[in-house]
Amino acid sequence: MSDRHDEPRCFHCQEPLAGSKLTARIGARLEPVCCPGCQAVAEMIAGSGLADYYVRRTTPAPRPTAASEEGSWRAYLEPQVASAFVTRGAVVDSVDLLIENLRCPACGWLIERAVGAIPDVKTVEVNAGLGRARIEWTAGAPRFEQVMRTIAQLGYVPHPITEETTSRVYCAERRSMLKRFVVATFGMMQVMMFAVAGYSAELGGERIDATLEQYFRLVSLLVSVPVLFYAGQPFLTSAWNSLRTKSVGMDLTVSAALVLAFVASAWNTFVGHGEVYFDSITMFVFFLTLVRLIELIVRHRTSSVADALARHLPATAQRAVGDKVETVPVQQLRLGDNVIVPSGAIVPADGEIVDGATLLDESLLTGESLPVARRVGDRVASGSINTGSPLRIAVTATGSGTVLANIVNLLRRAQTRKPAAMRTANRAAAVFLRVVLIASVMVCLAWLAVDPKQAFAATLAVLVVACPCAFSIAMPAALAASTARLAKQGVLITRPEAIETLADIDHVIFDKTGTLTRGEIQLAGCEVVGTRSREECLAIAAALERSSGHPIASAFRNMDTAGLMATAIETVPGFGIEGTIDGKRYRIGIAAFAAELRGAAVPRTRESLDGTTIVLGDEREALAVFTLSDALREDSPAAIEKLRSIGIDSEILSGDGSAAVASVAKHCGITSFFARRTPEQKLSRVHELHAQGKRVAMVGDGINDAPVLGAADVSIAMGRGAALALAAADVIFVSERPSALAGVIRTARRTAKIARQNLLWAGLYNFSALPLAALGYIPPWAAALGMSASSLFVLLNALRLLPRQSARNAQVARTAPAALATSA
């Protein structure tokens, strides 16, 4: 992580400066920033007296995107649109927002401050954990648009939400889990107090006064009832359900052990002799509830944001009726409607272009990182971003009929077909439980024949000593510990089983876009073909591209224009830009477009249509050929190398053009790569690998990857990835460092190893103690102690997976941004 400080990074977003000379004025000092977007946001934050944000934050700020720009929020001024999201009240109007990129409490603080400064705004409540905000303002004041715009200007992307359901469900679930956990904790402590009294007396060779002991037992029984039937209710319910569907799950074995131990203990309490196991029952419920609670929090933290992001479509559309254009909610669009898609907007519905030609960013649907040219008669899919000039489309499909919706369906199907994760523990526990049940019946019958008086005690001893408690905890304890460890490293596990499967992975598939690369277009090469120098060519290109909003222009954004100013700039969508500098006309764009200016005819090649090379020319000659590429993440080659060192093959399976994929593969040292793959082809490649007996992990981030992510054994998404992939992914890399992958797999392997040790220990204990108990050699108190000890051993073993204290301190030091040092 030392590289974080080695190279200069942007003050605002902490990305590498990449040669940018821009600075932002923060108070009295000038801080380096990477792009004009970051500069604007940083100066706005400092200008509003909110520079404290840089001291408080624990994660870098989001880099402002096109969505942060002003125009797109104007729609929220329309009363009709606003009414779809704003809840009108007598005193206040309110709106619920889901805020993309909201990562730490400092972000929440920043938003509360900035939005709170808007006149009429009464309350701003930001929940950084869930990435949500609720804003209220004086009833009737038209503040909705301003609120949205302010948040967007800070670099976050606000989404108004009408459906409260997902988060309500989560909130209720979390609250009830917390209550159950507390009941289990209190109950466990109480019961343990009485149990310890009994145990210490027995260890000292004495017995507690019989009346007192019976009293302890009655109180323990009383306390155990809410613990088992309230705190443990989710397990009991799920066990009952699995019983009805005749499947044996982990919850069934757990519940069977709990219920049997409880019934036996309760019976013994009432008859007044024999062992009771309330301590074991309550402790067991406590641990189970703890594990479930942690699991719930981690899972929802990731999915609640993803859920709403899946609704990527804009809330409004501009419908053309006759000569007028009206803003309507997307739901009101009908087939055949004419919709205007402004530059920079997301296409709201599937349609056919009736007017205009443009470049569309379809990366969400196809994974293709470079925009594609589309003209009249072409079909456009909802979810694409119009990066060129305005379009008019005739709607051909809306809502569930769109391509986007079909991809979502494909994803759902793929998810149901997901290969079952390793269920060894559950299967073994289920088998073991059956063995124990049969054994206890046999023991009971045998003792009835030999010595009926001892039958019940011996049967109980068998049930208790063989209670697969340690066995059931073995897996979850190890998984919870490593989930916590990975979370500290910026890796979120959304499904605990993913760790088991990760340990077995021997093949990793990368989707090029956004996983190995940054997903931003950069200048890869500049070949001078004319009479001007390289510097001149770059300066001219930078001047021409300066005012363009096109993604390609971002490659030139940090270039020095050497004081050149382009005038009379004309953008020809799908072709390029023409402009005048010092009285000379220049064109930059695809080869044919540049050649036209000098009257030469250059045949259009596929390569040029891809937009991977563009040409700069003047009226006499071609000046330079620029090669554009999606820049490689700095640690991608290291990631592949590390994976190889632990025996894992990597391959690239991409929707991008072959030249681009080959170049990335070469730089990373990957020999196996496939370009221009459709989601279906990717899916069949995964099935093919499965047929070869490979265990496949898929690293992706485009929406088109979602079905493939679902089909792979383990799916991994990079933090900023498109919404659906996040929702479907088992593992999420918040750090966006592919090189962490090898470390994660190593941790997973260690987890699997510890889980195996735990299972082995628990199994050995259970199987060796079983015959002894059956023969009546183990007194029940020893059985109970043995059972607790084996559970404890298993837990302590699992705790070895937790990060050590020193490691945690290092983590804190690392996440505290450089800003702390600079502002101190």
Partner 1 sequence: MEILYVLIPLTLILVAAGCWAFFWAVDAGQFDDLDSPGWDALEDQETISTRDK
Contact pick of 171, 340, 772, 785 for partner 1 (by CB under 8 A)? 171
Q: Which is nearer to partner 1, 130 or 597 (CB)?
A: 130
Contact pick of 86, 106, 726, 755 for partner 1 (by CB under 8 A)? 106
3-class secondary structure per residue, 410-448? HHHHHHHCCCCCCCHHHHHHHHHHHHHHHHHHHHHHHHH
Contact pick of 182, 196, 203, 600 for partner 1 (by CB under 8 A)? 182
Q: Please list every residue from 37 through 56 that binds partner 1, using CB under 8 A.
A: 56
Q: Which of 251, 511, 618, 649 is catalytic?
A: 511
Beta-bridge mates of residue 628:
523
Q: Could you give the dihedral angle defined by the CA atoms of residues 788, 794, 797 and 801, in that order, rounded to the nearest 10 degrees?
A: -120
Q: Which is nearer to partner 1, 15 or 120 (CB)?
A: 120
Contact pick of 5, 179, 620, 804 for partner 1 (by CB under 8 A)? 179
Q: Are 79 and 108 in contact (CB under 8 A)?
A: no
Q: Are 278 and 264 in contact (CB under 8 A)?
A: no
Q: Are 9 and 42 in contact (CB under 8 A)?
A: no
Q: Which is nearer to partner 1, 183 or 479 (CB)?
A: 183
Q: Are 224 and 278 in contact (CB under 8 A)?
A: yes
124 binds partner 1 (CB under 8 A): yes
**Distances from the Cα of 589 to the Cα of 361, 545, 713, angstroms:** 17, 10, 43
Place of tokens 């460890």: 485
Q: Is-catalytic flag, 511? A: yes
The DSSP element (H or E) to which 392 belongs, if any, is strand 391-397
Q: Can you tell me the distance from the alpha carbon of 479 to that of 287, in angstroms, rounded to the nearest whole number?
A: 13
Range in contact with partner 1 (rule: CB under 8 A) among 75-83, 105-113, 341-349, 494-502: 105-113
Place of tokens 């077995």: 504
Q: In the complex, what is the shortest distance from the CB of residue 52 to partner 1, in angstroms, rounded to a whole number?
A: 9
Q: Can you tell me the distance from the alpha carbon of 560 to that of 563, in angstroms, rounded to the nearest whole number?
A: 8
Q: Can you tell me the distance from the alpha carbon of 432 to that of 813, in angstroms, rounded to the nearest whole number?
A: 47
Site string for partner 1, 189-228 (x = CB under 8 A): -x------------------x--x--x---x--xx-----
615 binds partner 1 (CB under 8 A): no
Q: Can you tell me the distance from the alpha carbon of 727 to that of 417, in angstroms, rounded to the nearest whole number?
A: 16
Contact pick of 61, 75, 98, 130 for partner 1 (by CB under 8 A)? 130
- Closest to 92 measured CA to CA, from 55, 114, 124: 124
Q: In the complex, what is the shortest distance from the CB of residue 282 to partner 1, in angstroms, rounded to a whole number?
A: 12
Q: Please list every residue from 341 through 380 that binds partner 1, using CB under 8 A.
A: none
Range in contact with partner 1 (rule: CB under 8 A) among 2-10, 119-127, 466-474, 689-697: 119-127
The DSSP element (H or E) to which 26 belongs, if any, is strand 23-26
Site string for partner 1, 722-751 (x = CB under 8 A): ------------------------------
The DSSP element (H or E) to which 136 belongs, if any, is strand 132-138
Site string for partner 1, 565-584 (x = CB under 8 A): --------------------
> H-type helices in 635-739, by residue range?
636-645, 658-668, 679-691, 706-711, 723-728
Contact pick of 94, 127, 332, 406 for partner 1 (by CB under 8 A)? 127
| Total residues at interface with partner 1 (CB under 8 A) | 35
Site string for partner 1, 51-80 (x = CB under 8 A): -----x------------------------
Q: In the complex, what is the shortest distance from the CB of residue 709 to partner 1, in angstroms, rounded to a whole number?
A: 29
Range in contact with partner 1 (rule: CB under 8 A) among 34-42, 121-129, 273-281, 288-296: 121-129
523 binds partner 1 (CB under 8 A): no
Beta-bridge mates of residue 572:
576
What's the token pair of residue 458? 């011996």
Q: List residues binding partner 1 (CB under 8 A).
A: 56, 104-106, 108-109, 112-113, 115-116, 121-130, 171, 174-175, 178-179, 182-183, 186, 190, 209, 212, 215, 219, 222-223
Give the residue numbers marked as catalytic: 511
